[in-house]
């Protein structure tokens, strides 16, 4: 008795659906990259007020808020610019809405650079970005009781605890897990050459096309072997 190849069909269907999903995922990523490019070129500002407003804003959108810098600085090590290793200067900033965040003021080759900031109210304009996370973290980061310090990592929870102890007048202050990359034309910054994500929208669409072509090839192979199988032989 000839039987239908159910196992082969279910296996084919699982692989087929996975490749279809990957194709549409690449198209979705392409749309996101288009939005990022448009956001970086639009010149429009977002002016978040509350913590929930900040969370609704996508990375690479330009924000504009007022507040003041605090004399708390991290020199994030192992950052590269034009093939040279150096530091990102990360400085704490308090917005007028009593929200704390870190400002990436740019790259410097020397840890001895002057990181002083202006006193009083300052307008902050820059690109919103995710919290810096290392690819691989070897060991814990130890923070020191000093206003300027070199760090290898900035673990989110550990950094928030340290900032709470350093800058908060009360223990209930809110520290955002987002970073603002200081605008290229702003004062009190260092080398700033902020780049959009490496993979372009066109590359994502090319990958999507490849996945859909493989779906088509898989369909042709499935029906070829199906008609060659005993299930369709008389």
Report d(CA 167, CA 147) in Å as an integer: 10
Any idea what the Cα angle at residue 30 is, between residues 29 and 31, rounded to 5°?
A: 90
Question: What would the DSSP string read from start to end of 128-192?
Answer: EEEPP--SS--SPPPP-SSSEEEES---HHHHHHHHHHHH-SSTT-EEEEEEEEE-TT-SS--B-
Q: List, for residues 97-144, the tens digit of each pLDDT value.
A: 889 999 999 999 998 999 999 888 999 999 898 888 876 666 677 888
* Residues 33, 139 share a domain: no
Q: Identify whether residues 29 and 133 lie together within a single domain.
A: no
Q: Is residue 85 part of a domain?
A: yes
Residues 122 and 220 in one domain: no
**Residue 115 and residue 207 in one domain:** no
Scanning the structure block, which residue is given the tokens 């400002």? 103
Output 23 or 37, whichever has higher pLDDT: 23
| Domain presence at residue 187 | no
How many domains are contained in the chain? 2
Let me know whether 122 and 171 are in one domain: yes
DSSP 46: B
Asked if 216 and 153 sit in the same domain, the reply is no
Residues 125 and 27 in one domain: no
Q: Which DSSP category does 93 fall into? A: E
Residue 54 lies in a domain: yes
Q: Of all residues in the chain, what percent carry a pLDDT higher than 90?
A: 37
pLDDT of residue 181: 94
Kindly tell me if the per-residue pLDDT of 170 is higher than 80. no
Say what the pLDDT of residue 191 is.
93
pTM above 0.85, yes or no: no
Do 170 and 207 sit in the same domain of this protein? no
**One domain for residues 27 and 62:** no
Which of the residue ranges 38-42, 162-166, 209-213 has the most confident prediction, judged by mean pLDDT? 209-213
Q: Nearest-5° angle of CA 184, CA 129, CA 207?
A: 105
Tens digit of pLDDT for each residue in 173-227? 889 999 999 998 888 899 998 876 666 778 888 999 999 999 999 998 888 887 7
Q: Provide the domain limits for residue 18.
A: 6-38+202-232
User: For a pLDDT cut of 70, what percent of the chain falls above it?
Assistant: 88
| Average pLDDT of the residues of the chain | 85
Assess whether 17 and 103 both reside in one domain.
no
Query: Are both 62 and 99 inside the same structural domain?
Result: yes
């Amino acid at each position: 008795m000839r039987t239908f190849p159910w196992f082969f069909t279910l296996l084919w269907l699982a692989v087929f659906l996975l490749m279809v999903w990957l194709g549409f995922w690449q198209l979705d990523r392409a749309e996101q990259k288009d939005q990022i490019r448009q956001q970086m070129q639009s010149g429009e500002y977002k002016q978040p007020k509350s913590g929930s407003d900040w969370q609704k804003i996508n990375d690479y959108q330009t924000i504009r808020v007022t507040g003041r810098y605090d004399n708390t600085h991290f020199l994030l090590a192992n950052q590269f610019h034009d093939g040279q290793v150096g530091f990102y200067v990360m400085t704490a900033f308090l917005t007028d809405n009593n929200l704390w965040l870190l400002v990436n003021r740019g790259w410097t080759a020397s840890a001895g650079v002057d990181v002083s900031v202006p006193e009083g109210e300052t307008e902050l304009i820059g690109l919103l970005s995710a919290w810096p996370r290392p690819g691989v973290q070897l060991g814990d980061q130890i923070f020191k009781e000093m206003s300027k310090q070199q760090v290898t990592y900035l673990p989110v929870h550990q950094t928030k605890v340290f900032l709470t102890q350093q800058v908060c007048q009360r223990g209930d202050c809110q520290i955002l897990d987002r970073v603002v990359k200081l605008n290229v034309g702003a004062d009190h910054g260092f080398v700033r050459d902020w780049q959009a994500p490496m993979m372009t929208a066109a590359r994502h669409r090319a990958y999507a096309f490849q996945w859909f072509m493989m779906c088509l090839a898989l369909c042709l192979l499935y029906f070829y072997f199906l008609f060659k199988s005993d299930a369709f032989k008389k």
